[in-house]
Structure 1
Amino acid sequence: MRTLPEVPLLDHAALSEFLARRFGGASEKLSDLPHPQELKDARKGAERLARAIRSNERIAVVGDYDVDGVTSTAIVKRFFNLIGYPLETAIPNRFTDGYGVSPGILERIDADVVFTVDNGINAFAAADACRARGIDLIITDHHTPSDTLPDAYAIINPKQRDCSYPYKEICGAQVAWLFMGLLKQELELSVDMRQFFPFLALAVIADVMPLVGFNRSIVKTGLEMMQRSPLPPFVMIRDYLNRSAITSEDIAFQVAPRINSAGRLEDAKIALDFLLAETTEKAFEQFELLSALNTLRKETEAQTTEEAMLRVSPDDRVIVVAGEHWNEGVVGIVASRLVSRFQKPAIVLSIHNGIAKGSGRSIGNVDLYALIKSQEELLDKFGGHKMAAGLSMPGERVEQFRRDINKVAEGVDPNDFIPHTDIVGELEHHMINFELLELLERFEPYGEGNPRPRFLLRDAEVVNVKLFGSDQSHSRLELRPSKTHPKTIELVAFRQVLECPDSRTMSCSYTVNKNEWNGRVSLQLMLERVF
């Protein structure tokens, strides 16, 4: 039996005080946002683009196929549309081009100046190809650089050495937006850069940036602007969500997966066309395509997860599974599903033409990047960070990789495998009311760095469990929190098939959310984890 975490009993005042402490007095005034020129090379890059525009040179941008990359591309394309200058856009296809700017992508571009958004910090071959062709390459990125940088005209990345920009945890779209703000100054043009806040909110949330300080302010303002924006993509998002106010969780769980599905399964240009739509008809058409792809993504993910479950070696401390022709676009999601199911780090690989490529996700304090790095002699490429990584290797090495990484994992402290619970406390049953919901709404937006509070429910009586959904993959639980209190509460568990335990008691963590349906507002308790 799992040991329940020791957490305090909270009332509304104590919860409010706890949530306020998360922000630690960090500045959230957008007027205090540091000047873009504090980004190393940003002035140099902006001067080069301004010179290209004045000289009528050809300019192209290369984005990425995830939400951040597509949104970054949409921001700069809309900016260039506003100033009336042509910009060629290119987003790699995950399956035919691979990640980021590459010599292959450059062969399809006819430009004098190329700049990247949300990629390029490791584009050594592309930088060499640009130099050979006389193209000035400007890299804007936010991913962690290696010790050596590409030989580019300018590199704009807050994480590079000697960059004085104080905020390092910003996404690619934010870097691109700051860069466009500096270009606006160089051109001495009047463009209201606040109009891009809804796009920034979308990218910051989808790329799981910490929602504190300026990130929090940008997202909060961006979501408010999204609620009233006349731009067709945001009109479509509002119509789809049909809520009185758009939340960060709406974006994270409803909108971002749809935009991501294009790059995961087909081509990110479908998502870019949605964000650039100039009519509601076009936005509707593209959103329908994205929704269909997202449905297909869910089906592909479910099938791959089912197959992957059967290949798990139960005694391994790190799960490593591989399958012929699994879709590369869903292996990261499948890895997350395996982590959730088995409470272990998981690496899922797809084998195509003898090459195994995939993604890994970690748990607790296990440094997955370090574990993968310990096997770098077996790998063609790898990258990432402590909690998530990507890698590739010859298919015949997968089994040796599985054995060897697990040998190294035997030396990891068992306590590091314990997942973070982040439970803030227990609530008395009568405290779960609309007053609590209003309190929680004051501290939105929730996300990375400011997670929605999780509460502990201890030894509740299980009155009933029902499955629902077209595939019966979700659970609805009726629980009685206290033997002395006859009233029951309902918890919903999405993507969890639960059964009534033999003991007819349950301890779990949950969140309190607002549910809007047909104009009615109610409390919805979402089950997070069963202990």
Structure 2
Amino acid sequence: MNKRWSVRDKADDGEVSALAAALNIDSVLSTLLIHRGIKDYDAAKLFFRPDQRHLHDPFLMKDMEKAILRIEAAIAAGEKILIYGDYDVDGTTAVSVVYGFFKNYYDKLEYYIPDRYLEGYGISTASIDYAEQNNFKLIIALDCGIKSVDKVAYANTKGIDYIICDHHLPGAELPAAVAILDPKRDDCEYPYQELSGCGIGFKLIQAYTEKNDIPFENITPYLDLVAISIACDIVHITGENRVLAHLGLQKINTNPCIGVKTLMDVAGRGNFYTISDVVFLLGPRINAAGRIDDAKHAVELLIAADEETAKEKSELINVRNIERKEHDLSITDEALSIIDNDDVLIGRKSTMVFNENWHKGVIGIVASRLTEKYYRPTIVLTRSNGHVAGSARSVLGYDLYEALCGCSDLLIQFGGHKYAAGLTMHPENVEAFMARFEEVVSSTIKPEQLIQQIQIDAELRLSQVEPKFFRVLNQFAPFGPENMSPVFLSKNVYVSGSAGLVGANHIKMTVIQEGSPGFDAIAFNHGEYLSQIKKDVPFDICYSIEENVWKERRTIQLNIKGIRFND
């Protein structure tokens, strides 16, 4: 697939030079900092040295005082408390953090994870009925609830109070809860808006410790779970999230909780994890519990107090992840076959496929794979509980949610954001919805949005990539949204020696530029360029710089994102 190369605008030369001099670093590195809004020594120090002291006062969050007072009142009165959370990674880690913490101080509490297929996303009526039947007076809802106006009203008629801890955008009306913790509220002046749902839960327990003179060290055991939520919920890794991710990764790599440690063992990876490793190795396994079976297994793993329980749950979750992969791959193959054998579908500006027998738990993953393959707004549909359910994914710059708004009369409900959404409809509306969605996308998407873009941060000469440069670059981690691993452009490089194919379609080679040493490089899924790569033929590359570890030997490796020949 052809990709657009887009180089970021250059930063102001004076600012670049001044910051490079102040920090004694390469001007390319100071450019990267300025692109991140870091323009002086003090800001750079905060960026490069994240510390727990940089966490914000949790009581700056609207309603935090109300939330803590209600929890304290529940504990004093001996009321039963239900910890409720979504069935994905963010929800299950949030429940594990809040339940795990309060269990140390109070025993009249339980947790509840809704069934993905029977109850669906968010606060469910079934959970409120369960709370009433079992005499729960307070529910703490995590990673959901901000739009559950009717459900909270229903709970209020049962004498059940809610504390909502959410990070999604509120609707026009807020639920009638005792407290609503959500930095995205218009009336909330909390300094950072991009916390994960688990991050909101962590701020809740941080506030409780501060109010009750409990040492901060009593909540540090939960930082590994917070980091997992940040990584897997794809929230911004800036500001407070970056501090929490940094501290959480330290814990993952030095002293993870028993559940995380056993999950790392079954994942078969070494002890050093990056954000990317968390996303691709831990996240899918935790998610698989709710996709294929019951998300409660994930919570049981993450709160496990003994190795035997943790080992049992991690192995079960690993099996469910294998099943998830099988569903994922078979459904993806079926979807690809449907599209590739239909000239009408191939020619569209959107992708939509439907099979009533596909497993609902993996259609979101399949939609992501199809988006990568065809690079256009994508919806995958299947039957579920008498309706048709869909999972949608978008491409850079295109507002999928707005496109669905243009089809809302054909839908029972839909929700999500610019790049991902879920929806349900009556089966008889599928054909009309397919036509309408294509019509909306065709009339609103720009041609350039249908071509995948590689965002290049700066041009770099390979001779600049020396040990100090790499050491400083590593301190930009942890990487993630709004702080992605930098991508560099180097022009007129040559292959040194020969290039070879590894795996199915990957090029392994050593590249060199005039005045530079040779660098090992890997170009995943670029095998079609192999015949053009010759010793005396110059070409341009865009790439990220990473450390390759092989049998305890550490080397700098270029991870090539794009290859371009001058002709």
TM-score normalised by length of structure 2: 0.84
Distance in 1 (CA, whole Å) between partners of 2:405 and 2:314 is 40
1:389 is matched with 421
Q: Deviations over 1:103-141 (max 9, x none)?
A: 112233321111101111122342133122111122111
Distance in 2 (CA, whole Å) between partners of 1:488 and 1:61 is 52
1:146 is matched with 171
**Deviation for aligned residue 1:176:** 1.1
2:242 is matched with 216
1:167 is matched with 192
Distance in 2 (CA, whole Å) between partners of 1:29 and 1:483 is 41
Letter in 2 for 1:402: M
Distance in 2 (CA, whole Å) between partners of 1:530 and 1:379 is 43
SS in 1 for 2:104: helix
Letter in 1 for 2:280: F
Contact 2:3 2:452 in 1 (8 A): no
1:277 is matched with 304
Q: Which has the higher helix share?
A: 2
Structure 2 residue 189 is matched with structure 1 residue 176 = no
Q: Deviations over 1:301-323 (max 9, x none)?
A: 12111122233311211212222
Q: How many residues align?
A: 525
SS in 2 for 1:521: strand
Question: 1:85-124 maps to which residues of 2 (within 5 A)?
Answer: 85-109=107-131, 110=134, 111-124=136-149
From 56, 60, 66, the counterpart of 1:44: 66
Taking structure 1 as reference, are residues 477 and 102 closer, same or farther at Cα in structure 2, changes over 3 Å only? Answer: same
Letter in 2 for 1:447: G
Question: 1:48-59 maps to which residues of 2 (within 5 A)?
Answer: 48-59=70-81
Contact 1:69 1:118 in 2 (8 A): yes
Q: Deviations over 1:287-342 (max 9, x none)?
A: 22222222222222121111222333112112122221222222222222112111
SS in 2 for 1:324: coil
Structure 2 residue 332 is matched with structure 1 residue 305 = yes
Question: 1:486-501 maps to which residues of 2 (within 5 A)?
Answer: 489-493=520-524, 496=525, 498-500=527-529
Moved more, 162-171 or 241-250: 241-250
2:13 is matched with none
Taking structure 1 as reference, are residues 373 and 443 closer, same or farther at Cα in structure 2, changes over 3 Å only? Answer: same
Taking structure 1 as reference, are residues 476 and 327 closer, same or farther at Cα in structure 2, changes over 3 Å only? Answer: farther
Structure 2 residue 369 is matched with structure 1 residue 337 = yes
SS in 2 for 1:208: coil
Contact 2:26 2:469 in 1 (8 A): no
Contact 2:92 2:298 in 1 (8 A): yes
Letter in 1 for 2:277: D
**Deviation for aligned residue 1:438:** 2.4
Distance in 1 (CA, whole Å) between partners of 2:87 and 2:355 is 23
Contact 2:500 2:530 in 1 (8 A): no
Taking structure 1 as reference, are residues 501 and 400 closer, same or farther at Cα in structure 2, changes over 3 Å only? Answer: farther
2:28 is matched with 15
Question: 1:243-392 maps to which residues of 2 (within 5 A)?
Answer: 243=270, 245-312=272-339, 313-392=345-424
Taking structure 1 as reference, are residues 483 and 229 closer, same or farther at Cα in structure 2, changes over 3 Å only? Answer: closer
**Deviation for aligned residue 1:51:** 0.7
From 492, 497, 501, the counterpart of 1:466: 501
**Deviation for aligned residue 1:214:** 1.5
Contact 1:464 1:500 in 2 (8 A): no
SS in 2 for 1:421: strand
SS in 1 for 2:288: helix
1:414 is matched with 447
Distance in 2 (CA, whole Å) between partners of 1:61 and 1:453 is 39
Contact 1:348 1:359 in 2 (8 A): yes
1:77 is matched with 99
CA RMSD of aligned residues (A): 3.1
Q: Deviations over 1:181-208 (max 9, x none)?
A: 3334555555633332222111111111
Letter in 2 for 1:254: L
Structure 2 residue 237 is matched with structure 1 residue 202 = no
Distance in 1 (CA, whole Å) between partners of 2:519 and 2:208 is 59
Contact 2:364 2:380 in 1 (8 A): yes
2:479 is matched with 446
Moved more, 235-244 or 93-102: 235-244
Contact 1:19 1:443 in 2 (8 A): no
Contact 1:102 1:125 in 2 (8 A): no
SS in 2 for 1:446: coil
Contact 1:366 1:417 in 2 (8 A): no
**Deviation for aligned residue 1:502:** 5.7
1:477 is matched with 508
Letter in 2 for 1:203: S
Q: What runs of 5+ residues in structure 2 fail to find an aligned partner? A: 11-15, 340-344
**Deviation for aligned residue 1:465:** 4.8
